[in-house]
Structure 1
Amino acid sequence: MNLEGKSFGPWGGQRGYRWDDGVYSGVRQVVISSSSVGIHCIQFEYDKNGHAIWSDKHGANSGTRSDQIKLDYPTQFLISISGYYGSITEGGSVIVRSLFLETNRKTYGPFGIEQGAPFSLPVTGEMLVGFHGWSSIYLDSIGVYVKSHHQTVQTKLLETQRMIPTSHVSRVPGISKKVLSFGPWGGDGGMIFDDGIYTGVREVHLTRSGGLVSIRVCYDQNGKMVWGNKHGGSGGLKHDKIVFDYPYEMLTHITGYYGSMILRGPTVVKSITFHTNKRSYGPFGDPQGFSFSTGSIGAVVGFHGKNGYFVHCIGVHVLDNISVLPQSYPDPYDMPILKNSEVVWGVPRQPDLYESGPWGGEGGKLWDDGVYSGVKKIILTRGDAISSIQIQYDQHGQPVWSSLHGIPYDACTYHIKIDYPYEVLTGISGNYDVLVGDMQRRIIRSVTFHTSKAKYGPYGKPIGTYFSSVNKEGKIVGFHGRSGTFLDAIGVHMQHWVSDELSHGPYSPERGGIRNMLHKFYK
């Protein structure tokens, strides 16, 4: 089935941050939070090849009314959306004020208030299979993906009636190659899970106790880290973390064993081994029972299976016929490395890391971007205080965007571009203070960024308590802090200087960047 759909919209404003759920088989359920002001939040339950997948909540769930629209999918499906968008106050931000949903059986709504400029989907004979838009503390705008419902529903009904085998073909957004699904191998117990399809696998976390208790996978989605859910139970006695040198090391296939751990007990995955274009990791678990293997056929881009107290069965989504990178540079791995009673596989030794901060208040939610190779770009918004921050990191030559921390209200926006790796971020400084009228919360009022070449800022008003990380020698490789409606607090992950770190050219395999990096790490 063709997973690509036509896109329409979004209708409304473009404040906040952009979101895109992608394209699915159809929509099972819509949850809308609204008030007399407009639409505060929307969330979707999609269908993907018979599996339910919930989207993130788009907006803030702060409306006075909540509506749950459950559809009898696949016989009932969305065919149109319409509504109104406009400003709440004169000259204010544009948001979605009202929504009206139409299916092939009935209509739902309107939700919100029908004021402002009307919009509607200008197509017929098609079904809605995904949504995209912008959101902040409201649903700022909304758009849709559509495709012909005849083929979609017919295919879905055939799958249900014929029980089509588990191997099927789909496509990764942005990649023209086919994706094949294999498995799952193991028992029939537990509940179905499916992480979906990504562009690669970065990490796998396992817990074991006689069999595979749980698995959680960190994927790559076009350069961005995306964690899948934890599948399985708790209480595993052994913990394993497998870290791949993605994108230079790719997971190509898995092998393992399944069977019962006790007489007449449920069938579970007893052992698993991960194979890449460079090496194998495992076996993890007891290699006894019935063996399985996906064969070396491509690059693994997703996992699926069944889980309960254990992982009962497991399968993979594989990118078909992808050429893998040759092992043209030294293998930097020492395995295993013990770290807080956890066995970490495939992790190269790194220069010392340490943490500074966070400086600021105690409000908002705690966040931590983690550690990367360096910082390439910072997007900052401010009004009376720092409203939001978003960072583009470098991870072994690949750009990775962080989540948006805070909410970019009507404010000044700054784009700070760092000429990484020739220029590195070495420190931050700034001020935090109470913002009058904001429940006496201490928040970041100003911030300045210090690099090996220049100083950027200050951005905001330098009032209140001063803070600085510039007395620490090294480079910033990650940020952490707290945020809500503003940037409440900010801290940094620092890496000690490694000698002649800036003497080499850009990090790339073609210019020997990997060898240079390894030489610096190990000398």
Structure 2
Amino acid sequence: MAKRVGPVGNYLGNAFDDGVFDGVKKIIVSVQGSPYNCITMIKIEYEKDGKLESRQHGTVLGELKEFVVDHPNEYITSVGGSYDIVQTYYHTLLIKSLIFKTNTGRASPVLGGTTESGQPAGTEFTLEGQYGEKFLGFFGRSGQALDAIGAYLGPLGGNKGNKFDDGILDGVKKVTVAADQYSVTYIKIEYEDNGKVEVREHGTNRGELKEFSVNYPEDTIVAVGGSYNHIFTYDTTLITSLYFTTSKGYTSPLFGVAKGNEFELKGENGEKLRGFYGRGGTAIDAIGAHFGPLGGNKGNTFDDGVFDGVKKLTVGADEVSVTYIKIEYQKDGNVIVREHGTFNGILKEFSVNYPEDNIVAVGGSYNHIFKYDTTLITSLYFTTSKGFTSPLFGEKKGKDFELKGENGGKLLGLYGRDGTAIDAIGAHFETL
């Protein structure tokens, strides 16, 4: 499963979603000059299973500029640029410029509107992963011009081997890893899901075998680190080492030998490891990780997805935990309501003056509730971009947390687990 970053821009135009490919080979943009100075079209040439596929969005209304990538040896790791109100397009916020960077350190020129000093004109943004992941596809909105853009990011390492994705499970109990003199060759993960042990294996068991056990659910893996390198013997890039760190501060032995580019995968706010994805065959070619919401592992999974913003939250809490949450989202001018948990206890609400103000942080606490023998969310609060903070819903008990996006990105949706109460919570934030 690929990770989404963005979108940035506005919510007009028609939505597009290219999905996920192996990588990007070329990008062509149409740049309309003065007085517009914005991007009106983007065309992406993707590679998928050795074949080229093109996707085009927007309208060709100006000069065409291109950026070529030497995929698979080179890949895009960052998309930046700027957006601003364009008065001559009905006072609409549009993407004014784009900049692409690759894993080799190479960058495109500024494609689009610039200032006199050559910098991107308008409000600047950057879309990138935390760990240098490669771009696999784009999504956004377009019509006469490019209204918004976001991207899908993929795992670290090489592009050979077979794709795998373990999905999202409750947590990890044990990891067994094999490595030879070249690379990590094999990984076996013992997950727990709904009280049962689920085993997944990837790669080929070759070399020295070591294991790392986790006292789950009291302790959870919160970081996956290691390295990857081009192996000239096989003419491919492979994962050369791996290690794992838990919420209680334990770190596994190093599996393999640290060679090449180092990385560390972890959630933005200490979320636990819920599953692996990547590529494997005779070795482990690439690896990525799913990190999940904070709190317990019982209840039913929910994910509201991504909306334009949040208008109001209503939260119920009793003497034990947060029991219920109702969110009024806005999407394309319409109000959409999502409810989770079971209403019990005191009900309070928090309204947001959207779109002038937005929620930028979700905080609270979670604790093991011995009465129910489970971990639950015990309190919640919300903070906005204008500095307003909601009342505290529930009582602060257990471990405190605060979820927020990078660079003040607004809350776009909640996810987590629920049943008779709110077991776990996570948040989707806009990437700026």
Shared fold (TM-score, shorter chain, > 0.5): no
Query: What TM-score, normalized to structure 2?
Result: 0.35
Higher relative contact order (CA 8 A, sep 6+): 2
More strand by share: 2
